[in-house]
Amino acid sequence: MEKRVLRLPVNEWWYGLIKDGKIDFDYREIKPYWTARLENREYDIVEFYHRFKKDIPVMRYKFEKVIVDKIGIYPDDYYIILFSKLDN
């Protein structure tokens, strides 16, 4: 069975946090673009790639789930994408 992959672009700072294991989530604004990709969809893998530097390797993680909640001090809700290390 083919894996269902969610591909997410990230900037260099966020890429480093994910790579170093300092965070296990990503977040996206609730906008039509992300609603179409996240709501009522199932994924197996989350791939993070550097938004501007194509020579930096793609990172792959196990997709856990998407929740809608607040982030820090921001008043709006966001899509929060939870992920974990892949079992090899």
Predicted confidence (pLDDT) per residue in 33-50, tens digit: 999 999 999 999 999 998
Q: Which of 79, 71, 75 is nearest to 28 (CA)?
A: 79
Separation of alpha carbons 63 and 83, rounded Å:
5
Range of the domain at 71: 5-84
Confidence grade of residue 9 (pLDDT, cut at 50, 70, 90): very high
Percent of the chain with pLDDT over 70: 99
Q: What's the domain count of the chain?
A: 1
The model's confidence at residue 88, banded by pLDDT at 50, 70 and 90, is low
Terminal-to-terminal C-alpha distance of the chain: 17
| Tokens 């604004």 -> residue | 29
Which residue's entry shows tokens 């609603």?
A: 35
User: Where residue 43 sits, what CATH number does that domain have?
Assistant: 2.30.130.30
Backbone φ/ψ region at 28: left (φ over 0), alpha (ψ -120 to 50), beta? beta
